């Protein structure tokens, strides 16, 4: 062999670039494009040594944000304060031509550290030029993920899809940007393929803000709490109804600030049952939207015969809470909707969810430290037997509280839900504005992009994100989760069924039969009753399609499901069997009552 060839062989020859698809349809990718061509993407983030993930999103000065209509500009505000992108938000890629029908294996969502595939639902929209993927369960925190379109996909033009020119080098681990090369260069290996097998991709890192918020919650649980003044009690249903107040810390800041800005006084409604020897078990009650802590009377009169006490405090923007402005509609204010400007503020919505849970966590801590609720010197409640019952909005708020605290032993969340972007846009409160927003943006696909970015900004407050830490992957010292019941209506117009499904999936609940509508990833339990079905914990998702109304059987809806004949029996059975000292029982109320099907 000639000397020159020997030297070349010894030094190695340049690697041949991957033979990427050169089809007529191409992924659109440009982090600076004002149309926002892909999201999320670590190309839209910057290094931040103070972040637990080492980065933070950087869209505040992006031209896409600047071009948003003024009424929508507040919705994704705060994203740059996150430690990464959303764990439950939609992911989208865009193309200069139309995609074809998606075949199995065309799209994958993969954790790059393990190569594990994550379940999702995929949508082709915007005249075939946008691929939107919705994770079916929350992604892991502080983890790098890739969404990819395989080169095996056949576009509508009959050819494969070409990767964006700006990504081709990075997908092979090269290119001019080491930040991108490190991330995109790991994709093919994690998927077990060659770079040329990829047609489109985005790589992003999820936030770890839940851990920081939980640290605040832990500090609150360790503080000393006291009642502010004496109780005012009166006779009520042979027991007592008392009013007290306490001071709580307000931790609202960029989202939740470890250094509280102020203290405020919160009013508490207390219901103590008659004829109970010794301290009574207690339920913290979470009221519905546009309601107040007084709604707890509905639960108290039902559980008094069980010897159970009930306490309740107002959510932010409701009742006598210091944040409530009597001139505002409570529901709109809580959801960050400004009716005067018809705008949607995602940061306000997220703060309202999280601070309400922190208010209730401080109440829970107070109940444990001073269980003498009526001030007579004797403990009225048993701090070792605490339940949470939250209806509607209270059901959405439940996962955060139960994940933050190790002290709640049972949770019932009638007509609860998760995934804030879906709730804010499709509930009866938000849906009224959706048509306006779509019209302002020009089309539905553009609205979906706004929802994806808004969800990423609100994500650390999402009930479904917190739900991932309720039964599994606990944040505190408790080894297992609480007993949990999530009953929903398949016809709910206020907390839409898809939000209940999102919460059930995040909790990884078994689906208690009868199954009205099958839900992907939820495994049917077999015939009810169900008890201790998850390593000694009772947990289940139950669907209502009908309730008894007098002599008639009518379709279930938001208002008649929690305390209708069937819903009340199921809830009280769940509570009563827990009070008896064993694992609680989830019944099929239709079988118990012989409720006929809808006609």
HEC sequence for 137-184: CCCCCCCEEEEEEECCCCCCCCCCEECCHHHHHHHCCCCCCHHHHHHH
504: left (phi over 0), alpha (psi -120 to 50) or beta: alpha
Q: Identify the helix (H) or strand (E) that includes residue 397.
A: helix 393-404
Cα separations in angstroms, 61 against 50, 57, 145, 177: 20, 11, 24, 21
The DSSP 8-state label assigned to residue 522 in this structure reads P
High-pLDDT (> 70) share of the chain, % = 97
* Chain segment 161-171, per-residue pLDDT in tens: 999 999 999 99
Q: Identify the helix (H) or strand (E) that includes residue 426.
A: helix 420-426
61: Cα separation from own chain's centroid: 27
* Angle formed at CA 358 by CA 395 and CA 335, multiple of 5 degrees: 55
Q: Above 90 in pLDDT, residue 592?
A: yes
Q: Are 481 and 471 in contact (CB under 8 A)?
A: yes
Per-residue pLDDT, 7: 35
User: What is the rounded average pLDDT of the residues 7-31?
Assistant: 75
* Chain segment 43-57, per-residue pLDDT in tens: 999 999 999 999 999
Per-residue pLDDT, 136: 98
Instruction: Average the pLDDT over each of 213-222, 311-320, 412-421, 432-441 and give the range with the smallest value.
Output: 432-441
The DSSP 8-state label assigned to residue 8 in this structure reads H
* Angle formed at CA 124 by CA 443 and CA 502, multiple of 5 degrees: 90
Per-residue pLDDT, 15: 66
User: What is the rounded average pLDDT of the residues 409-418?
Assistant: 98
pLDDT level of residue 552 (50, 70, 90 thresholds): very high
- Going along the chain from its start, the domains and CATH numbers come out as 17-207 (2.60.40.1220), 231-593 (3.40.50.1820)
User: What is the rounded average pLDDT of the residues 1-20?
Assistant: 52
| Whether pTM exceeds 0.85 | yes
* Chain segment 52-100, per-residue pLDDT in tens: 999 999 999 999 999 999 999 999 989 999 999 999 999 999 999 999 9
* 176: its two tokens: 């001019």
Instruction: Average the pLDDT over each of 108-112, 328-332, 528-532, 573-577 and give the range with the smallest value.
Output: 328-332
């Amino acid at each position: 062999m000639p000397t020159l060839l020997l030297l070349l062989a010894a030094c190695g020859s340049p690697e041949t670039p991957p033979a990427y698809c050169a089809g007529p349809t191409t992924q659109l990718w440009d982090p600076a494009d004002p149309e926002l061509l892909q999201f999320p993407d670590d190309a839209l983030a910057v290094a931040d040594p103070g972040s637990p993930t080492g980065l933070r999103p950087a869209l505040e000065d992006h031209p896409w944000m600047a071009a948003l209509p003024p009424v929508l500009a507040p919705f994704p505000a705060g994203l740059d304060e996150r430690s990464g992108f959303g764990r439950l938000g939609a992911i989208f890629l865009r193309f200069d031509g139309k995609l074809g029908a998606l075949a199995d294996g065309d799209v994958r969502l993969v954790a790059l550290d393990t190569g594990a595939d994550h379940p999702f639902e995929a949508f082709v929209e915007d005249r075939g030029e946008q691929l939107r993927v919705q994770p079916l369960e929350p992604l892991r925190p502080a983890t790098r993920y890739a969404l990819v379109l395989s080169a095996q996909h056949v576009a509508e033009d009959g050819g494969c899809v070409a990767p964006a020119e700006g990504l081709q080098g990075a997908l092979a681990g090269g290119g001019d940007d080491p930040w991108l090369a490190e991330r995109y260069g790991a994709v093919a290996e994690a998927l077990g393929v060659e770079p040329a097998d990829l047609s489109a991709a985005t790589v992003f890192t999820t936030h770890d803000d839940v851990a920081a918020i939980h640290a605040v919650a832990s500090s609150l649980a360790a503080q000393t709490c006291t009642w502010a003044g004496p109780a005012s009690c009166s006779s009520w249903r042979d027991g007592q109804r008392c009013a007290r107040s306490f001071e709580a810390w307000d931790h609202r800041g960029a989202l939740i600030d470890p250094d509280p800005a102020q203290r405020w006084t919160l009013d508490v409604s207390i219901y103590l049952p008659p004829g109970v020897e010794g301290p009574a078990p207690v339920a913290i009650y979470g009221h519905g939207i546009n309601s107040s802590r007084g709604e707890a009377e509905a639960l108290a009169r039902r559980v008094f015969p069980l010897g159970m006490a009930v306490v309740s405090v107002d959510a932010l923007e409701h009742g006598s809470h210091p944040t409530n402005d009597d001139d505002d509609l409570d529901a709109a204010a809580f959801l960050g909707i400004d009716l005067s400007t018809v705008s949607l503020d995602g940061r306000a919505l997220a703060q309202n969810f999280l601070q309400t849970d922190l208010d209730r966590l401080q109440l829970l801590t107070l109940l444990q430290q001073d269980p003498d609720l009526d001030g007579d010197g004797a403990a009225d409640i048993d701090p070792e037997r605490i339940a949470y019952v939250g209806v509607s909005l209270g059901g959405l708020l439940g996962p955060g509280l139960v994940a933050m605290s190790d002290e709640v032993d049972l949770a019932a969340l009638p007509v609860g839900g998760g995934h804030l972007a879906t709730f804010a846009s499709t509930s009866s409160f938000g849906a009224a504005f959706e048509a306006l927003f779509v019209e302002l943006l020009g089309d539905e696909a553009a609205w979906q992009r706004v929802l994806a970015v808004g969800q990423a900004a609100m994500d650390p407050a999402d009930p479904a994100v917190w739900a991932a830490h309720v039964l599994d992957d606990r944040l505190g010292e408790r080894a297992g989760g609480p007993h949990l019941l999530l009953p929903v209506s398949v016809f709910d117009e206020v907390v839409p069924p898809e939000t209940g499904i999102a919460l059930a999936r995040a909790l990884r609940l078994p689906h208690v039969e009868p199954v009205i509508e099958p839900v992907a990833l939820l495994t049917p339990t077999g015939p009810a009753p169900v008890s201790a079905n998850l390593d000694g914990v009772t947990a289940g998702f139950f669907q209502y399609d009908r309730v008894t109304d007098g002599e008639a059987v009518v379709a279930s809806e938001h208002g008649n499901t929690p305390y209708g004949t069937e819903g009340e029996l199921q809830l009280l059975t769940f509570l009563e069997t827990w009070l008896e000292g064993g694992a609680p029982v989830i019944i099929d109320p239709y079988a118990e009552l012989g409720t006929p099907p809808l006609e």
